[in-house]
């Protein structure tokens, strides 16, 4: 459980933290402290580790070499050097670093694994990690170099180096600070590996899990915005509410479709802009024969099938959320030092990150599908041949001289094309580590790919929101608009704080990026 401590804004960590609170810790808006029960569990695991060492038992990574060198025994006197060399040889990550927030999420994920009480890290070491999260800093951790096999050895080794006073920390604005200086400002001494904390800190799926936590929270916001944007577009286009009738979800009871149906109906509540009359309410005159009506009796799929599309994505995202919640509170080390084992230590493969990899790939696929759904909405509402009554590309100026959202519509297509280029990471297992790691998860790559897709997804969604707001404003200026729902009104206000009404052409790239960032940080829920 988790509970608020006396200090307002501080969360007392025992075994569990919600994904929302985890994201708040990562972004620096919530402090954390260690519950006494969590400290006791860490003490117990450390004591079991020490007992195994005192009995000179064979413990991987503590009395043996690493990977395929596990058949080389190491004497007790060389333990500290073994731990230091573990960190040194693993700190081979390259490329740009994880973002400030992502790096902090990784630190939190490692803390949550350690406080379960089977990893063997000292409580004092866990407290150092907490102190980092309660500061303005994040360790500088290269993103590339892990295949998610024995967990995330490489990025976690770079975190250990930072705790030892090597490398750099980052401030929120990306400023690099020498690790020794950052530790002094945090108020903690450099980490001492003489107690064999190295293995406990570098083992496990914490990098992929930390990124997955942030992905899960962002996807929840994305789905909220999908409902709001689709509802506003339905109002702008005079859509038919019949297709969103709750009877469809009752007869096809996928949880996501039921939730999407309920939320979409809530979004358009109170509007006078949608058409409520069912198609079957029309009556053919006797002997009427074949005639052509001015308008089709059903909307295009990008409106009509919104409950089914958004709902299917919601179910995929829910699976990712459940997997992430479980992984965040799991022990993913090797070896483990559980209280109920028949041995003082157990060797196995909890570090295999395939759960996170498969869930991330599934979510990335779902997010790409939803991006395509919004891209088609954008294409439809900006095409004067498809949408009667609106100017080409929703131009607010002199059509021909002004091109409206033409460029933004092309950008949405380009972003979608880029999202579709990246496939699943989890299917690309590759043998490494002298064939010791002959099956790997690619979980961290999968989580990173999902994060990158979400960046582009929110840009597409921002363009869709701008298009919806522009269409609603055009209708209002022409005096043809019926009363809007509360959701559509809120969406338009939200968009207009970043992107004013487009009367004459102007560069929109900066507005799209800013609005996408704002949408990723704050849901619009009615």
Mean pLDDT (the chain) is 90
Window from 80-84, 171-175, 251-255 with minimum mean pLDDT: 80-84
Let me know: does 482 contact 271? Beta carbons within 8 Å.
yes
Which residue, chain included where needed, has tokens 């338009």?
492
How far is residue 390's CA from residue 236's CA, in Å, rounded to a whole number? Answer: 10
* 492: in domain: yes
Q: What is the DSSP string of 156-208?
A: HHHHHHHHTT-SEEE-TT--EEEHHHHHHHHT-PPPPGGGSHHHHHH-BSHHH
Of the residues 142, 174, 204, which one is the last residue of a structural domain? 204
* 284: in domain: no
Query: Which of the four pLDDT bands, split at 50, 70 and 90, describes residue 287?
Result: low
How far is residue 447's CA from residue 424's CA, in Å, rounded to a whole number? Answer: 10
* 326: in domain: yes
Q: Which two tokens stand for residue 80?
A: 């500290």
What is the average pLDDT across 411-423? 95
On whether both 234 and 149 belong to a single domain, the answer is no
Query: Which of the four pLDDT bands, split at 50, 70 and 90, describes residue 133?
Result: very high
Q: What is the pLDDT of residues 221-243, one digit of tens each?
A: 999 999 999 999 999 999 999 99
State how beta strands 94-97 and 31-34 pair.
Answer: unpaired
How far is residue 117's CA from residue 135's CA, in Å, rounded to a whole number? Answer: 25
Query: Which of the four pLDDT bands, split at 50, 70 and 90, describes residue 65?
Result: low
On whether both 67 and 35 belong to a single domain, the answer is yes
| Highest mean pLDDT, choosing among 85-89, 245-249, 384-388 | 245-249
On whether both 78 and 225 belong to a single domain, the answer is no
Give the per-residue SS3 of 274-316: CECCCHHHCCCCCCCCCCCCCCCCCCCHHHHCHHHHHHHHHHH
- pLDDT for position 198: 86
On whether both 224 and 162 belong to a single domain, the answer is no
On whether both 107 and 249 belong to a single domain, the answer is no
Q: Report in angstroms the alpha-carbon separations of 432 from 312, 398, 439, 441, 478.
A: 36, 61, 8, 12, 65
* 291: in domain: no
Asked whether the CA dihedral 81, 200, 159, 320 is positive or negative, the reply is positive
Q: Report in angstroms the alpha-carbon separations of 395 from 406, 471, 501, 503.
A: 9, 9, 10, 7
- pLDDT for position 342: 63
Let me know: does 298 contact 304? Beta carbons within 8 Å.
yes
The domain in which residue 114 lies consists of 2-204
Residues 390, 394, 399, CA angle at the centre, nearest 5°? 90
Which residue, chain included where needed, has tokens 């029960």?
37
On whether both 223 and 360 belong to a single domain, the answer is yes
Q: Which two tokens stand for residue 427?
A: 């299917």
| Res 4 pLDDT > 60 | no
Query: Which of the four pLDDT bands, split at 50, 70 and 90, describes residue 18?
Result: very high
- pLDDT for position 348: 84
Query: Which of the four pLDDT bands, split at 50, 70 and 90, describes residue 85?
Result: confident
On whether both 198 and 269 belong to a single domain, the answer is no
Q: Which two tokens stand for residue 393?
A: 């590309």
- pLDDT for position 394: 95
Which residue, chain included where needed, has tokens 């892990």?
146
State how beta strands 138-139 and 94-97 pair.
Answer: unpaired
Q: Give bridge partners of residue 336 from the DSSP assignment.
A: 346
Query: Which of the four pLDDT bands, split at 50, 70 and 90, describes residue 8?
Result: very low
What is the average pLDDT across 134-162? 93
Q: What is the DSSP string of 227-238?
A: HHHHHHHHHHHT
Tell me the whole-structure pTM to 2 decimals.
0.93
On whether both 405 and 323 belong to a single domain, the answer is yes
On whether both 81 and 126 belong to a single domain, the answer is yes
- pLDDT for position 5: 40
* 290: in domain: no
Q: What is the pLDDT of residues 330-355, one digit of tens each?
A: 999 988 888 876 668 888 888 999 99
| Res 292 pLDDT > 60 | no
Name the 3-class secondary structure at 34.
strand
60 belongs to the catalytic site: yes
Q: What is the pLDDT of residues 262-283, one digit of tens each?
A: 999 999 999 999 988 888 787 7
Nearest-Å Rg of the Cα atoms of the chain is 27
| Res 158 pLDDT > 90 | yes
Of the residues 144, 175, 204, which one is the last residue of a structural domain? 204
- pLDDT for position 2: 42
* 482: in domain: yes
On whether both 244 and 150 belong to a single domain, the answer is no
* 133: in domain: yes
How far is residue 111's CA from residue 321's CA, in Å, rounded to a whole number? Answer: 19
Number of domains in the chain: 2
What is the average pLDDT across 41-52? 89
On whether both 137 and 262 belong to a single domain, the answer is no
Q: Which of 60, 88, 390, 501 is catalytic?
A: 60
Nearest CA among 204, 163, 165, 173 for reference residue 28: 173
Of the residues 156, 178, 204, which one is the last residue of a structural domain? 204
> CATH no. for residue 326?
1.20.200.10
Question: For a pLDDT cut of 70, what percent of the chain falls above it?
Answer: 93
Q: Judging by beta carbons within 10 Å of its beta carbon (0-12, 13-18, 19+), is residue 305 exposed, middle or buried? A: middle
Name the 3-class secondary structure at 95.
strand
On whether both 56 and 158 belong to a single domain, the answer is yes
Give the per-residue SS3 of 332-350: CCCCECCCCCCCCCECCCC
Q: Which two tokens stand for residue 291?
A: 């005639």
* 194: in domain: yes
Let me know: does 105 contact 29? Beta carbons within 8 Å.
no
Strand order from edge to edge, sheet including 168-170: 138-139, 168-170, 176-178
Give the per-residue SS3 of 245-273: CHHHHHHCCCHHHHHHHHHHHHHCCCCCC
């Amino acid at each position: 459980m988790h509970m608020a401590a006396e200090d307002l804004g501080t969360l007392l960590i025992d075994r569990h933290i919600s994904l929302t609170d985890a994201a708040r810790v990562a972004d620096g808006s919530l402090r954390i402290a260690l519950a006494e029960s969590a400290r006791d569990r860490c003490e117990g695991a450390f004591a079991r580790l020490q007992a195994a060492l005192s009995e000179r038992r064979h413990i991987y990574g503590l009395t043996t070499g690493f990977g395929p060198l596990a058949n080389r025994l190491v004497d007790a006197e060389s333990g500290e050097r073994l731990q230091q060399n573990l960190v040194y040889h693993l700190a081979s990550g390259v490329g740009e670093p994880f973002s400030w927030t992502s790096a902090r999420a990784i630190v939190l994920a490692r803390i949550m694994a350690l406080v379960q009480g089977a990893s063997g890290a000292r409580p004092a070491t866990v407290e150092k990690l907490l102190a980092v999260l309660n500061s303005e800093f994040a360790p500088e951790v290269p993103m590339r170099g892990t295949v998610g096999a024995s967990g995330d050895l490489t990025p976690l080794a770079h975190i250990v180096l930072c705790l030892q006073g090597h490398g750099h920390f980052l401030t929120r604005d990306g400023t690099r600070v020498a690790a020794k200086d950052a530790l002094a400002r945090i108020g903690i001494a450099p980490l001492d590996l003489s107690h064999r904390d190295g293995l406990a800190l570098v083992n496990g799926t914490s990098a992929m899990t930390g990124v997955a936590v942030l992905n899960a929270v962002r996807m929840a916001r994305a789905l909220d915005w999908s409902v709001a944007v689709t509802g506003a577009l339905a109002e702008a286009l005079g859509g038919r509410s019949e297709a969103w009738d709750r009877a469809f979800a009752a007869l096809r009871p996928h949880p996501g479709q039921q939730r999407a149906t309920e939320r979409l109906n809530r979004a358009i509540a109170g509007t006078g802009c949608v058409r409520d009359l069912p198609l079957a309410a029309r009556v053919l005159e006797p002997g009427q024969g074949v005639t052509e009506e001015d308008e089709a009796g059903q909307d295009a799929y990008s409106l009509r099938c919104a409950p089914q599309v958004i709902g299917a994505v919601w179910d995929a995202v829910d699976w990712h959320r459940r997997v992430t919640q479980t992984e965040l509170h799991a022990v993913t080390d090797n070896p483990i030092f559980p209280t109920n084992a028949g041995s003082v230590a157990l060797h196995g493969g909890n570090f295999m990150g395939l759960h996170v990899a498969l869930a991330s790939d599934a979510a990335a696929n779902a997010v790409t599908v939803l991006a395509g759904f919004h891209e088609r909405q954008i294409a439809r509402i900006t095409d004067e041949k498809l949408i009667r009554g609106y100017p080409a590309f929703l131009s607010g100026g002199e059509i021909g001289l002004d091109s409206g959202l033409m460029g933004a519509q092309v950008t949405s297509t380009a972003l979608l094309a880029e999202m579709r280029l990246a496939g699943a990471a989890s299917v690309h297992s590759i043998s490494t580590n002298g064939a010791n790691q002959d099956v790997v998860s690619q979980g961290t790559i999968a989580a990173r790919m999902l994060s990158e897709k979400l960046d582009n997804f929110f840009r597409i969604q921002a363009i869709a929101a701008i298009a919806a707001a522009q269409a609603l404003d055009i209708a209002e200026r022409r005096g043809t608009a019926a009363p809007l729902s509360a959701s559509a009104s809120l969406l338009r206000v939200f968009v207009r704080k970043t992107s004013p009404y487009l009367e004459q052409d102007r560069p929109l790239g900066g507005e799209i990026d800013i609005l996408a960032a704002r949408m990723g940080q704050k849901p619009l829920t009615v």
